[in-house]
Amino acid sequence: MEGLALTWAEPYRVDCMSITSAFALGFDEKYCAKRCEATSFNPYFNRTSSRPYQDFQVRPTMMLAATNFNYAKQLIDQGVAADGTNPTGTAYLVSTTDSARNVRAQTFGLVQQFLRNRFAIEIVQRDSLVDKQDVMFYFTGLAKVKNLNTVQFLPGAIADHLTSFGGQLTKNGGQMSALRWLEAGATGSYGAVVEPCNFPAKFPDVGTVMEAYLDGNTLLESYWQSVLWPGQGVFIGEPLARPFTTKS
């Protein structure tokens, strides 16, 4: 068994770890942080393998997270509809006015330069997208993301926002749950379940997840390969979605 799918929206946390990381790595406090500290790293980070447990002792885990049957069916249907379609939408890298949460934006120019010959990439200087109908990737840093009802996600789309508690999926707090991305039509997302501080290494690396996905890896593989310190973050979505077919 090389990967796992959990079919619930809660619990999303095991003490100081996210539940997906606890299943994938085994519960261990070395993957936690009591303050603004580094944690143990993901041995699967930026490493391609169809046998991650055999090769790295990691069982990538993702939650097929939904709060009702209709959202669960929508999520699965989005993943199935994506497979092998090689979509030609746009990756939106959104640089916001929230300086504490906008820390990934410093890499956006390099991502665009590196991957622009493989996929359309637009760097957006505003707090949210409005009236975009071709969204395949949407990465931002903000506590709450507005205007999701005006955005059309393509099947297989990945979207996440860097904030402290996006992975507290069913808790009504002051920050947007990562579930809102899935409910809006994205196929995968990610969020922190306990305070991570704004370390980019505790969130998906935009260039790494995009490159892995474009190379033909599944959503599960791509997302897990993109987070260096994943212990405090939960991975959600349809794990077997695989829109791109260039993987041998």
Domain spans of the chain, in order of start: 4-237
Partners of 188 in the β-ladder? 158, 237
pLDDT band at 198 (very low <50, low <70, confident <90, very high): very high
pLDDT band at 34 (very low <50, low <70, confident <90, very high): confident
* Average pLDDT in the chain: 96
Mean pLDDT of 95-110: 97
Q: Residue holding tokens 């829109």? A: 243
CB 178 within 8 A of CB 234: yes
DSSP-derived letter for residue 10 is S
What pLDDT, in 10s, does the model give residues 126-162? 999 999 999 999 999 999 999 999 999 999 999 999 9
Supply the pLDDT for residue 2. 85
> Under 8 Å CB-to-CB from 124, ≥6 apart: which residues?
92, 93, 94, 95
pLDDT over 80 at 11, yes or no:
yes
pTM metric for this prediction: 0.96
> Under 8 Å CB-to-CB from 230, ≥6 apart: which residues?
18, 21, 24, 25, 31, 42, 202, 224
> Under 8 Å CB-to-CB from 127, ≥6 apart: which residues?
94, 96, 97, 98, 142, 146
Give percent of the chain with pLDDT exceeding 90: 94
Indicate the range of 77-91, 207-221, 234-248 predicted with least confidence: 234-248
CB 243 within 8 A of CB 84: yes
Specify the length of the chain in residues.
Answer: 248
CA–CA dist 183, 78 (Å, integer): 11
pLDDT over 60 at 248, yes or no:
no
What pLDDT, in 10s, does the model give residues 212-230? 999 999 999 999 999 999 9
